[in-house]
Structure 1
Amino acid sequence: MKNNNFPKLHNATWPGIVGKGDGSEPIISFDTLLEMTAAVEVDGIKFDGIDIGLFDPHVPVDSSDDDLKRLRDKVASYGLEIGSLVAPIWPPTGGSAMGSKEDRARFVEQVRKACRVGQRLRELGIRPHGIVRIDSATSPESWAKDPAANTQLIAATFREACDVAADYGERLAAEGEICWGGMHSWRAMIDTLEAVNRPNIGFQADMSHTFLYLLGYNSPEDSILPADFDWKDRETLTAGLRQLTQALRPWTIDFHVAQNDGTVHGTGSHDKTGRHCLATDPNGKLNIPVDAGNWLRDEQGQLTRAFRHICWDGCMFPNAVMTQAKTWHDILAAMIAVRTQHGWQE
């Protein structure tokens, strides 16, 4: 229903950084993203909050307590809340989850720092829900040199990170992107999560990134759709999505709404991964509100209510697109459609 108020609707701020800089497009400032998020309105409905990447120049993971209080005040002044956070676990400040002892120690330390921020933002009353997002910070090619051993090494690192996160009352979510070793296919992702065996880890589903699990990029043996798949065959696509979500839904604790055109994409320093398309892209393969239901409802069609907000992740959109009011209007409209079909009232 239109008056559903859960899950809350969040916009991501890291698309202002990811795929930017490094000789490509300029970074979009945190303040600009806040302003654009707060300004959009569709039928009287606005975004409820933002999800944040904890890296320079937006919100450094080493932010002081005074920095975080200023962040709280700034976000609250726009009528927004903060939800999920991205831990900056990649080199050089972090390290590969299947790397050397030193690499893995840096990885865990970056998770600790992110969880400290998360806990403090909860204490400051600006972050009522959300997770801390991680990945393996290693490539599928490196992982494939010794899959069994490397999965166990990633799991060991994730266990240490989970134990640290538990000290701060935080949960970790591993994002389903084909560019991360040990997480690059749906089977690999489940194998890794099962090997971690901690109650405070789960899966972050992204309708664009995770969609490519269907096609077996970087793991043809795990493809769900046939190699000669015809995109006009909606029945087979729907069956594939149901198979995928049935496997991963029990692990899912964070969710990104997105569109995908069935191809990979990468810009700047960001490895090739699921192409985020505009919500209204004519080449988009997903029916956003219908296909979101595969993640938000169980096999019996009942709402899982496994997370209290959903987020739009618009990574790698050109700046010219990200600074158009129409872009955010269309995105918010798509998210409202998801909540109308699969939300609830509290």
Structure 2
Amino acid sequence: MKLHNAMWPGLVGKGTDEGQEPPISLEKMLDLTAAAEVDGQRFDGIDYFLFLPHTDPNASDDELRKIADSIADRGLAVGSLVAPIWPGTVGDSAMGNAEQRELFLAAVKVACRIAGIFNEHGVRNYGVIRIDSAEFGVDEWRKDPKTNTKKIAATFKEAAKIAADHGERLAAEGEICWAGMHSWKDMLDLLDAVDMPETLGFQADLAHTYLYLMGYNAPEHALLHAGYSEDEFYAAYATMTDKLRPWTIDFHVAQNDGEVHGAGAHDKTGKHCPADDPNGKLDIVKCSEHWLKDAETRGIKHICWDGCMFPNATLENPNTWNTILKTMIDVRDSHIQDGNHAT
């Protein structure tokens, strides 16, 4: 199983507004990733954010091939891609009006085009295309949950057809900030409504799914409450992962301290923490085992670290990446020792 690092922590929550830190360039993120090493092991690749300033979604074929060359020259592969579905990029809300939903589908087409170029280049041989509802917050969704989930499902169905035509699969990211995907139960209902498991599945992130347990944006679906015991935690964790694991086709290793965090437009989401954060709520290796059971049967060939919205000083510290890489190795080795097969 290959070990990847995400590029979007250099962008998400960064910007030029007052109080925001500046973005970190793609080149810098690639260099930090390529430099990490633990006992001779390095990151095998990256998962890639198809957003400016890292990437122009409308870049020419030649420009994209140059990016692929730059990644490959560092000894890295490309795995999963994040489609530019958010308002203000190419896309718009999957539960919006007809025009907004067409923009969402246009963004999926853009991601499939770029995936095809990377595949043809040879830098990409596995991974999925990640999507979400592109509807920040749940207030609008709550005005008519059934109708709005039906809209999202209809948009996702069309997106999945586009992906299938390009030989790609879509993974819907489970995160409390995305309308209709903001709890484990709502996420499961959406996946069932789409009902295209060969083409559209779930992307599990350890940090975000921890807040699924706590029911942060959906108290009615909470599986845990403050003051829980270790036994209560793992019983609840098994309940959640048993429901969502069959849908899981992409997996993010991460840590969470139980807090909700946000920056810029990306607000009220699970707080990603350093792998060795003393306030971390998760035994990363043990929790990963729940998601990775029989991972290969679901087409998972790599796992990715997500340090979304880390401070720049943390991201630019080489020790950060060596610690993360060691954690990723531990997750992979535990997966192998459990009788699974590495690729």
Same fold (TM over 0.5): yes
Structural mapping, 1:81-120, within 5 Å:
81-92=77-88, 93-120=90-117
Q: Aligned match of 1:37 in 33, 43, 62?
A: 33
Between stretches 328-337 and 57-66, larger displacement belongs to: 57-66
Letter in 1 for 2:152: I
The alignment status of 1:136 with 2:129, answered yes or no, reads no
Give runs of aligned pairs for residues 247-262 of structure 1, distance below 5 A: 247-262=243-258
Show CA shifts across 1:245-297 (max 9, x none): 00100000000000011111111221111110000000001111111000011
Match runs of 1:49-60 below 5 Å: 49-60=45-56
After superposition, give the CA deviation of every residue in 1:39-97 in whole Å (9 maximum; x if it has no partner): 01001100000000001111221121101210111111100000000011111331111
Higher relative contact order (CA 8 A, sep 6+): 1
Shift of 1:304: 4.9
Residues 214-239 of structure 1: CA deviation (Å, up to 9, x unaligned): 0001100000013x333xx2111111
- CA 1:220–1:96: 2 relative to 1, 3 Å: same
2:267 counterpart (268, 271, 294): 271
SS of residue paired to 1:263: strand
Partner of 2:22: 26
CA deviations on 1:187-230 (whole Å, 9 max, x unpaired) are: 1001111111223000000000111100001100000013x333
Structure 1 gap segments, 5+ residues each: 1-6
- Which residue does the alignment assign to 1:150? 148
How far apart, CA to CA, are the structure 2 residues paired with 1:306 and 1:258? 21
Cα pair 1:297 1:304 within 8 Å, conserved: no
Residue 166 of structure 1 is matched in structure 2 by 164
Aligned partner of 2:233 in structure 1 is: 237
Percent identity, please. 56
User: What is the alpha-carbon distance in structure 1 between the residues aligned to residue 191 and residue 227 of structure 2?
Assistant: 29
- Cα distance between partner residues in 2 of 1:134 and 1:170: 12
Cα RMSD over matched residues? Answer: 1.3
CA distance in 2, matches of 1:167, 1:306: 18
* TM-score with structure 1 setting the length: 0.94
Q: Indicate the residue corresponding to 2:119 in structure 1.
A: 122
CA offsets per residue over residues 113-153 of structure 1, 9 Å max, x none?
00111122111111010010000011211111100010100
Between the aligned partners of 1:321 and 1:290, the Cα distance in structure 2 is: 25
CA contact (8 A) 2:65 2:117 kept: no
Spell out, residue by residue over 1:155-195, the C-alpha distance to the aligned partner (whole angstroms, 9 max, x if none). 00111111111111111100000000110001100111111
| Alignment correspondent of 1:179 | 177
Amino acid of the structure 2 residue aligned with 1:19 = G
CA distance in 2, matches of 1:194, 1:82: 29
Residue in structure 2 matched with residue 4 of structure 1 by the alignment: none
Contact between 2:163 and 2:170, CA under 8 Å: does it hold in 1? yes
Match of 1:217 in 2: 216
1:305, CA displacement in angstroms? 5.9
Q: How many residues align?
A: 334
- 1:22 shift after superposition: 3.6
Conserved? CA contact 1:22–1:269, under 8 Å: no
State how far apart, in whole Å, the 1-side matches of 2:149 and 2:242 are.
Answer: 22
- Shift in CA distance, 100/305, structure 1 to aligned 2, threshold 3 Å: closer
Aligned twin of 2:204: 205
How far apart in 1 are the matches of 2:296 and 2:148?
36
Unpaired stretches in structure 2, ≥5 consecutive residues = none
Give the TM-score normalised by structure 2.
Answer: 0.95
Paired AA for residue 94 in structure 1: G
Residue 147 of structure 1 aligns with an amino acid whose one-letter code is: P
Instruction: Identify the range of structure 1 (274-283 vs 119-128) with the bigger mean alpha-carbon deviation.
Output: 119-128
Contact 1:72/1:121 (8 A) holds in 2: yes
